[in-house]
Amino acid sequence: MPMAKQEAAPDAVARAVEALTDALGSDAVLTARGDLDEFRDPFWVLGSADHDVSAAVLPGSVAEIQAVVRIANEHRVPLWTVSTGRNYGYGGAAPRVPGSILVNLSRMNRVLEINSELGYAVVEPGVRWFDLCAALEEAGGDWWTSIPDLGWGSVVGNSLEYGRGHTRFGSHAANICGMEVVLPSGELMRTGMGAMSGNRAWHAYPFSYGPSVDGLFMQSSLGIVTQIGWRLMPRPEKYASCWLHFDGDEIIAPVIDAMRQLMLDETINNYPFLGRGVAANAEGQPDLDPDSQKWALRFALYGYAEVVEAKWRIVERVLGSVPGVTIGRKVYDGTDRVGPDRGIHDDRVQAGIPGMELLDLYKVPFGPDTGHLDFSPVGPLVGSEVLKMVRMVRGMYEEFGEPYAAGLMLLPNSIIVVSVMFFDPKDEAKTRAIYDNYDPMLAVMAKEGYGLYRTNIYKMDAVAETFDFNGHALRRFLETLKDAIDPNGVLQPGKQGIWPKVMREWRDS
């Protein structure tokens, strides 16, 4: 029986730590408070131990991960897996169940293969965006990878969380082709064509014989992913980094409708970003200005010189005719990697060049400790609906007395309307108040039919509650699977609101 308090049992953890140290060696197991500090959620109340892990283990191989899982089962202790633990804004490396043992996979950081014929890489969980880009450059630079805004996180962690990038292949979960997974039993499994020993198309053909299960390991507590195949983008001959600016919210509607047309017909085939409250300053660098009414859309065109030129003329015709907008572009050669001295963040990120510049930007409001909470409902890519979503969320920010900073991520026919509240984690009351703001926003958006694509460890149950069709049929299905394959509930209990039977009483009501 679980303890009433939502926490890993300290005596069981102590026994597991001893066994882990015996199995992996003492340098693979961290227990000193000072060593564990870096795994705290930096955006929770500074100095609070509410969500700390009790220990961290750093396996260096699949066999060591299997040993960790077996030990966790033996001692009935919950594990919380991260690849690099940079999931900032969603909890960082902090676990859903306090006192869990962190499994940090950053030591497993090999790029196992770059297939420059078929355009994929095979990476271990500790491979960061910086590492993959460096490996691609070293391999001749013929292939680009999509990246998120910060380069320090991992390909695996970000993609499993449905993280997003900004090139043609910016839907990161969709780039995964073939996984290797340690199951909660400790058994090793390969998905898709990889289920056949020696299969030649494992990382090229995306489906299984029978049901495809890769999605079961995304935002999931059903396994520890040890490697993935990852789709790459051929280096284009030309790349145009484009922008569109307008003032005031009303123009969102016609811009979104025009973008939908251009994205569905593949004139624009990257994943554009529409931001507000983050504007260009006098030096052309992004700056935080939440009072501004200015919106800035960025998008990209890739391909042969003639194609990029022709696409730009179509963009001018369709987007340029929307009243009140200004548009522009910079054109680069594909070989012309946009370095830190050339171009702004937007130019680099759409060319898959990783950096850390946005981290500095996000420190502007309250200095180095600045925290932020992201609210990210998904909607259809229809101008009137997007404008409605923006107005609804923004109205709530106004009620809370918070400035509205937003970053909308466009997919060809849907959109994630992300907004961000900044706070100072040194201010406990304010930090808690910011997290409390989330609940009414969640309720209002769910009532209108808008669900969240991702959330942080504090709101996982609340968000799961909103996916309520037929008495939470999907959650019941996933918990049936959870109980069958992880009867002791050792992997990521509570992740995304999925609780193993032995801990189900811990679900936030």
Which residue ranges make up the site for ligand ADP (CB under 6 A)?
A: 81-87, 93, 105, 125, 153-154, 156-158, 160-161, 224-225, 492, 495
Rounded least distance, CB 172 to ligand ADP, Å: 10
Rounded least distance, CB 349 to ligand ADP, Å: 15
Strand order in the sheet with 55-57: 29-30, 55-57, 101-104, 79-82
Record the tokens describing residue 6, joined without a space: 């939502």
Rounded least distance, CB 457 to ligand ADP, Å: 8
Residue entry with tokens 């880009």: 133
Q: Of 77 and 181, which has the nearer Cβ to ligand ADP?
A: 181
Rounded least distance, CB 290 to ligand ADP, Å: 25
Q: Of 363 and 388, which has the nearer Cβ to ligand ADP?
A: 363
Rounded least distance, CB 360 to ligand ADP, Å: 18
Q: Of 167 and 492, which has the nearer Cβ to ligand ADP?
A: 492
Q: How far is CA 456 from CA 99, 278, 306, 471, in A?
A: 17, 23, 44, 23
Q: What does the DSSP 8-state code read for residue 222?
A: S
Rounded least distance, CB 500 to ligand ADP, Å: 15
Strand partners, 116: none
CA atoms of 97 and 311, how far apart (whole Å): 50
CA atoms of 202 and 473, how far apart (whole Å): 32
Q: Of 403 and 407, which has the nearer Cβ to ligand ADP?
A: 407
Q: Name the pairing type of β-strands 79-82 and 101-104.
A: parallel
Record the tokens describing residue 443, joined without a space: 């309720």
Q: Of 277 and 497, which has the nearer Cβ to ligand ADP?
A: 497
Residue entry with tokens 């998008």: 299
CA atoms of 96 and 44, how far apart (whole Å): 13
CA pseudo-torsion sign 93, 94, 95, 99: positive
Cβ–Cβ < 8 Å for 96, 52 = no
Q: Of 19 and 105, which has the nearer Cβ to ligand ADP?
A: 105
CA atoms of 450 and 467, how far apart (whole Å): 10
Rounded least distance, CB 89 to ligand ADP, Å: 10
Tell me the one-letter amino acid at 285: Q
Q: How far is CA 331 from CA 269, 305, 341, 413, 459, in A?
A: 16, 10, 16, 26, 42
Rounded least distance, CB 20 to ligand ADP, Å: 18
In the complex, which residue's CB is closest to ligand ADP? 157
The crossing angle, in degrees rounded to 10, of helices 252-264 and 305-318 is 150
Q: Of 254 and 493, which has the nearer Cβ to ligand ADP?
A: 493
In sequence order, what are the residues at sequence separation of 6 or more whose Cβ sits closer than 8 angstroms to the Cβ of residue 34? none
Q: Of 332 and 499, which has the nearer Cβ to ligand ADP?
A: 499
CA atoms of 155 and 229, how far apart (whole Å): 10
Cβ–Cβ < 8 Å for 234, 145 = no
Q: Of 224 and 325, which has the nearer Cβ to ligand ADP?
A: 224
Rounded least distance, CB 134 to ligand ADP, Å: 16
Rounded least distance, CB 79 to ligand ADP, Å: 10
Q: Of 106 and 241, which has the nearer Cβ to ligand ADP?
A: 106
Strand partners, 102: 56, 80
- Counting every residue written for the chain, the total comes to 509
Q: Of 179 and 256, which has the nearer Cβ to ligand ADP?
A: 179
Tell me the one-letter amino acid at 340: P
Q: Of 163 and 425, which has the nearer Cβ to ligand ADP?
A: 163
Rounded least distance, CB 93 to ligand ADP, Å: 6
CA atoms of 240 and 328, how far apart (whole Å): 10
Rounded least distance, CB 508 to ligand ADP, Å: 18
Helix (H) or strand (E) holding 414: strand 414-423
Neighbours of 254 (CB within 10 A): 18
